Amino acid sequence: MATITPATTYPAGALDIAGHNANIFSTTAGQGVLSEPNGGLEQANLAGSFRVRDEHIMSEEAVMARAEGLTTPMDIYSNAFGVKEETDSAYVAIGGLCQRVYIPYAMSAVIWQWSFFAACFRPAITYDGDTQDSRLVELAMRLYIDGVEYPAFRRFLPCTAYFENASADAVFNFENVGATWFDITKLQQNVAAGYHELSIKLFAPRATNPLSDTDEGPTFVAPTGLFGPNSPLTTCRVYTRVSYGDRSVRCVMFK
């Protein structure tokens, strides 16, 4: 705790109201007999015989916790993102995996934790039947805290499908065994007072055909009957998808 310096003294005469209020509570460090001890007390400020009792600690003076979450399922399709002419990886925040907290004073440790269930359609596509050259569509999530990305916490969703471009006889979908549960934690130390924000963001670019300069993405011919008992063969364009289930973010802060 800083040494408290009075904003005003109390001589005879008119009372300095602003100075008197600052003597009691002030946002300026080193002022306020109530504001300065609130969160500023340290071991050096206590007598050796001091013992902490319940009445000495108010709620959230030593530990604060916040939580956000959603259970509503959400599907995100790659056609909501840019096409292949766009070179910037436009990561967008995922609903239910973002949290903004206010920290009233500096914290020695802040623990962020986020959990979510994700199922995806992420195909590996063979464009050239002769060379069997396959490409895996990119599908990645990143962690941002206060706008800064932490590469160690990047997560990639699994490959859940395979097919040959424009082929109806070589389409395999094993999405039912590719669903994944994530539970991740990050520790921050010596976090300053103020607003802080965590967000998990997704990048799902559209699948592109490297053998074509004009095709927006690969296509395949759907088998007869996929869209109805009497439907003819239909050409379908390929997109990726991520489905999120139960997801939440928690933050625990220690003075």
Same domain, 145 and 220: yes
State the pLDDT at residue 223: 59
Q: 180-191 and 133-136: which strand pairing?
A: unpaired
pTM: 0.72
| Nearest CA-CA partner of 208 in 120, 133, 136, 132 | 136
Give me the pLDDT at residue 130, please: 62
Is the domain of 16 the same as that of 86? Answer: no
Range of the domain at 6: 1-57
Tell me: do 211 and 191 sit in the same domain. yes
Distance CA 180, CA 140 (A): 13
Q: Is the dihedral of CA 179, 185, 191, 194 positive or negative?
A: positive
pLDDT at position 169: 56
Residues 185, 157: one domain?
yes
Q: In what order do the strands lie in the sheet with 161-164?
A: 133-136, 123-128, 161-164, 171-173
Phi, psi at residue 194, to the nearest 5°? 125, -170
pLDDT of residue 237: 76
Q: What is the pLDDT of residue 170?
A: 59
Same domain, 138 and 189: yes
Q: Three-state SS for 200?
A: strand
The CATH number assigned to the domain holding 135 equals 2.60.120
Domain count along the chain: 2
Local mean pLDDT, 10-residue blocks, the chain (255 residues)? 88 90 90 86 84 79 89 89 62 92 92 95 75 74 94 92 65 83 95 94 78 62 60 73 94 92
- Report pLDDT for 244: 95
CA 139, chain centre distance (Å) = 16
Same domain, yes or no: 67 and 124 = yes
- Res 217: pLDDT: 66
Same domain, 23 and 108: no
CA atoms of 133 and 17, how far apart (whole Å): 79
Within this chain, do residues 140 and 90 fall inside the same structural domain, yes or no?
Answer: yes
| Percentage helix, strand, coil for the chain under 3-state DSSP, each rounded to 5 | 10, 45, 50
Residues 81 and 205 occupy one common structural domain? yes
Are 83 and 5 contained in the same domain? no
Based on the domain organization, do 21 and 89 belong to the same domain? no
Interatomic CA distance for residues 39 and 118, integer angstroms: 40
Other C-beta atoms closer than 10 Å to the C-beta of 251 total: 21
Residue 177: φ, ψ to 5°:
-110, 10
48 in the same domain as 111:
no
The structure tokens listed for 118 are 């994700």
Per-residue confidence (pLDDT) for residue 105, from 0 to 100? 86
